[in-house]
Amino acid sequence: MHSWTRYLIFFQYIGAKYSGVAKGNPHQLGKRGVQDHLEDAITRLRPLNPVSLSISSRTDTGVHALSNSAHFDLQRKNDKPPFTEDILVRALNFHLRTEQIRITRAYCVPHDFHARFHAQSRTYVYRIAQGISHKSLLPLTECSLCWNLCNIDIPFWELTFRSRSFLYKQVRRMTGAVVAVGKGQLSVPELKDILEARDSRAFPQGLTAPAQGLFLTRVDYRDTDLQLPQQTSEMQLPTIGNSLKK
């Protein structure tokens, strides 16, 4: 008899049409979260167990991801063997074909692995288009994927942030503070006071950067945390660590 298998998946999405990565509020009509659509796709695989997805990194409404991650458990009916990683990716993407969400990789991981708590770092990139007088002058593919700032000579910036974890809206607030200092809306001493206060309520209203320029670009794990026990080595990928670092 085949027992349940825990999978780690990496996925990407354009966040504009979703209420964020987490589940939407079932009591409110409107946008659904990326998690809702992922769990729908997993349910279509007809697992024996209830579907529950644990996401590594929370993103808000309008924020995008080039690589987010999550884990879930799956037991197939009628003692069928576990899905291979490649088949799982193809099957989930088939059921997600109408959404702006795609699975990029999948791995069988130990039963005690947790996508959120085992993550060693998360990396975000904030994209800023500069010197464009109006967002309509941006290429169509860029209009909702960056923050447009007018009347500045430098054409384009990408700010990269890497840490084990982040506070709510931390990256957007840091980006907004950098831009505010550059535009003379915030002085360096004022910024120092905000940092030393260590209180999100000290951050000025209206300076948080908009969501559309923010991308979660990668979530990193230790190779040892992804390795299956020796007795299930036939399911283990020998180059899993190298492939995660590509």
Q: By C-alpha distance, which of 143, 145, 171 is closest to 159? A: 171
Cα–Cα distance, 32 to 24 (Å, whole number)? 5
Q: How far is CA 71 from CA 20, 58, 64, 100, in A?
A: 18, 14, 19, 20
Q: What angle is formed at CA 213 by the lines to CA 222 and CA 220, rounded to 5 degrees?
A: 0
Cβ-contact 24, 31 below 8 angstroms: yes
Q: What share of the chain is helix, strand, coil (3-state, %, to 5)?
A: 30, 25, 45
Tell me which residues are annotated as active site.
Answer: 60
